[in-house]
Structure 1
């Protein structure tokens, strides 16, 4: 009998993926603006009769869902083994403390 070895699970960036951070921030701002648009003053005289907070909040929530979905569907895979970097002449030398 031969045993099939399953490949090691791929490690992803997870919460450190910038798309998750951007999506969460846009979602937070979207919720705040949505609540301000629903419960706050609409200031319709300044915006030509449009509830700008409500529509901007909805747009931010849609973009937030797109970012979070993108990060979920196509995660960034972190390589298991990373080759050591050879000496790079353009990189500044480390400073040694005396």
Structure 2
């Protein structure tokens, strides 16, 4: 019988890549921009991002949350309970 182990670092890396591919996201913010907390088979996620200037932060935050939830639930056996999106900075560069 085989066993697959997904570390928090691996999950964080997956989430970072997903977020960086969303239009309106300039980058990630802080030294540890993604925090994941496992509770049984449920994950809570906090993501710190740098947004591009001309984007509606409400819509961008919802898009980030929906995209992360969909991707994590598609590629892992876990369910995402809560996603907190924190805008740590706004980039005025194009």
Q: TM-score range by the shorter chain?
A: 0.3 to 0.5
TM-score, normalized by length of structure 2?
0.33
Q: Which has the higher strand share?
A: 2
| Bigger relative contact order (CA 8 A; separation at least 6) | 1
TM-score, normalized by length of structure 1?
0.32
For the pair shown, the structure with the greater C-alpha radius of gyration is 1
Q: Which has the higher helix share?
A: 1
